[in-house]
Amino acid sequence: MSTKYTISDQELQAKIMAGQESAFSQLYDRYSPAISLYIKRFVNSSDLSEDLSQEVFIKMWQHRSKLEEVRSIKAYLFIMARNHTLNSLKKAMRSDVAMGEVINSFVEQRSCTEEELLAKEYLEYLEKALAALPSRTREIFKLCRQEGKSYDEVALALGISRNAVKNHMVSSMKVLSASVKKDLGISLGILLTVFLK
């Protein structure tokens, strides 16, 4: 059995942060095929997906100091891959309509193991982050964001004012947004759009 996979992602992450190119090479070998395949679902081109995959890893290496805030380097790579690919497509297309079609197509196809694992990791993260909120704030967030209820509906159901509901939501979004940005390196909007459909 090859020894290159006996080192954990966390160990590789620490070595990459220390500037060890051999650790970067091992991480590239470990995840570049999956990242390239993931990107191909957006661009439908093997050559382009390989180019974009390489750009993702180069970008990660150039900004390796930021890895200190990353909990899962695998999840971080997939998020970077999606963001970089969508940004590249947007520059190429210059059309929000075309971008919308690409994203919708991607969401419809979203069933591969990597994406399911990523979704599971982020949902677990979101649940932990929500658990840290006060119980009433957490309850209101779930009613509004996960069940799609309006502020008025929540206010009526809980017997509080609409303004109180809004204040709880502003508070929860502020706390969650800071946590998600710090731990995952993505915006709360991306997390909620992709994983709370």
97 or 30: which carries more pLDDT confidence?
Answer: 30
Residues 6+ away with beta carbon under 8 Å from 143: 149, 153, 154, 157
CA–CA separation, 28 and 55 (whole Å): 11
User: First CA to last CA across the chain, in angstroms?
Assistant: 41
pLDDT classification of 124: cutoffs 50, 70, 90:
confident
pLDDT classification of 133: cutoffs 50, 70, 90:
confident
- Contact between residue 159 and residue 46 where contact means Cβ atoms under 8 Å apart: no
pLDDT digits (tens, 9 = 90+) for 175-191: 877 777 777 666 666 66
In the chain, the amino acid numbered 51 is D
* Displacement of CA 88 from its chain's centroid (Å): 17
Least Cα distance to 58 among 97, 86, 84 occurs for 84
pLDDT digits (tens, 9 = 90+) for 73-123: 998 999 899 888 888 776 665 545 555 555 555 555 555 555 566 667 777
Could you write out the DSSP letters of every residue in 136-193? HHHHHHIIIIIS---HHHHHHHHTS-HHHHHHHHHHHHHHHHHHHHHHHSS-HHHHHH
89 or 164: which carries more pLDDT confidence?
Answer: 164
pLDDT classification of 192: cutoffs 50, 70, 90:
low
0.85 exceeded by pTM: no
* Rg of the chain in Å (alpha carbons): 19
CA–CA separation, 184 and 122 (whole Å): 9
